[in-house]
Amino acid sequence: MSDKSPEAFRTISEVSKDLSLPQHVLRFWETKFVQIKPIKRGGGRRYYRPEDVRLLRGIKSLLYNDGYTIRGVQKVIKENGTRQLLDIDRENNNFTANQKNTNDNFLSQSQTSHHSLSDMKRKKLMTVLDDLVQLRKKLEEDK
């Protein structure tokens, strides 16, 4: 993070660097998530508010760490609002566990569409996810 105050607005290049994401990804996410509303100044220069940056960090976590699709994150925001995403750094593990249970319940109660995974493939993926979570914990313990 830069030497700016936590409440300071950030340019797209600063946010891109802080989140380790290319600028075009941030611009693309603006089109997919209406909740991300940077202020645009003369020449189209974007300035992200602190809550925009926290929301982007939460979206990134769900997409890159938890394996959600863009449509899946949109659904999470629609169902739960952005508050959980704004605090994703503190609540990442709890949120993921809750969503995993919610998704398991949803799949067992709903009819599967052509976009759904078979139960066997889903179980295999969940096993891999659990293995990755355990490896992540081991890596964090070794630090």
- For each of the domains in the chain, give its residue range(s) and CATH number, in order of start: 10-93 (1.10.1660.10)
Q: Tell me what pLDDT residue 126 has.
A: 82
| Consecutive H or E run containing 96 | helix 88-109
pLDDT more than 90, % of the chain: 37
10, β-bridge pairs: 48
- Whether 73 and 33 have beta carbons less than 8 Å apart is answered as yes
Pairing of strands 10-11, 39-40: unpaired
CA 94 to chain centre: 14
Q: Tell me what pLDDT residue 112 has.
A: 41
Q: How far is CA 99 from CA 20, 65, 85, 96, in A?
A: 25, 13, 12, 5
Q: In whole angstroms, what is the distance from residue 108 CA to residue 100 CA?
A: 12
Q: Tell me what pLDDT residue 88 has.
A: 60
Q: In whole angstroms, what is the distance from residue 48 CA to residue 59 CA?
A: 15
Q: In whole angstroms, what is the distance from residue 89 CA to residue 9 CA?
A: 20
Encode pLDDT of 22-67 as tens digits. 999 999 999 999 999 999 988 889 999 999 999 999 999 889 988 8
pTM of the shown model: 0.59
Encode pLDDT of 106-124 as tens digits. 555 544 444 455 667 777 7
